[in-house]
Structure 1
Amino acid sequence: MVCLCGSLRFQSLFESERRRLTSRGVIVLGPEPIDEELTPPRREALGELHLRRIDMADEVRVVSEGGYVGEATRREIAYAREKGKVLSSMEPLAL
């Protein structure tokens, strides 16, 4: 089971990576785009929900482009490392 992490500004990359992994028989967890303005408490709750996805996954795969890794993704990477998850990325991470 793989959990995709990264900025939702790369939604098309998330979709293509989800399809690629699914076609290989991998269960994929990841954030879903939200079409509403998020309040800080709602954003925090969704962030916690994503950490639970990381808890369930065997591997955490970072979806990014051009080296962009935002603050939330950095927190997710740190959490995955703390939990001993396998960490991979679509491109080299400069962290």
Structure 2
Amino acid sequence: MSHPAPLTPEEQLADAKKLLSLPHVVVICGSTRFMAEMTEADLRETTAGKIVVKPACDMKSPHELWSDPVEAEALKARLDDLHRAKIRLADEVLVVGDYIGDSTRAEISYARSLGKPVRFTHPEVDPAA
């Protein structure tokens, strides 16, 4: 008698989201130079009934939390890990802005490696296009 394969963690998460009747989850990615555009995308996605997660720290703007260069480097690594967790949680990725830097390119690659759909506010910057 064969037994069904156990569910992967990703399948378990998808099932839990369905059981909880959670709305579609979108993670916003992009350069922090587009924070205003990310806020606008957040507004549009939220009013369309989606749960939105996005970067909250613009480390290019001065702030006491990242004023020390050593602490800032450690914080950047933690924030990168946190953003990858947001990508794993999300049902899809929305890339905001007309520029793709190395970090965003890595996020897109990571999302696609997980089979996440990726949308762009500026499709012409899609590295796969």
Q: Which has the higher contact order (CA 8 A, sep 6+)?
A: 1
Q: 2:119 aligns with which of 66, 73, 88?
A: 88
Q: Which residue of 2 aligns with 1:7?
A: 31
Question: How much has 1:42 moved relative to structure 2?
Answer: 1.2
Report % sequence identity. 37
Q: Tell me which amino acid in the other structure corresponds to 2:106.
A: R
Alignment of 1:14-53 (within 5 A): 14-34=38-58, 35=63, 36-37=65-66, 39-53=72-86
Question: How much has 1:94 moved relative to structure 2?
Answer: 4.1
Secondary structure of 1:55's match? helix
Secondary structure of 1:39's match? helix
Instruction: Give yes or no for the alignment of 1:73 onto 2:97.
Output: no
The structure whose Rg is larger is 2
Alpha-carbon distance in structure 2 between the residues aligned to 1:10 and 1:79: 20
Structure 1's consecutive aligned runs of 4 or more residues displaced over 4 angstroms after TM superposition are none
Q: Which runs of 5+ in 1 are unaligned?
A: none
Question: How much has 1:13 moved relative to structure 2?
Answer: 0.2
Alpha-carbon distance in structure 2 between the residues aligned to 1:79 and 1:73: 10
Per mean C-alpha deviation after superposition, the further-off stretch among 34-43 and 73-82 is: 34-43
TM-score by length of 2: 0.68
Give the RMSD, CA atoms, in angstroms: 1.3
Secondary structure of 1:81's match? helix
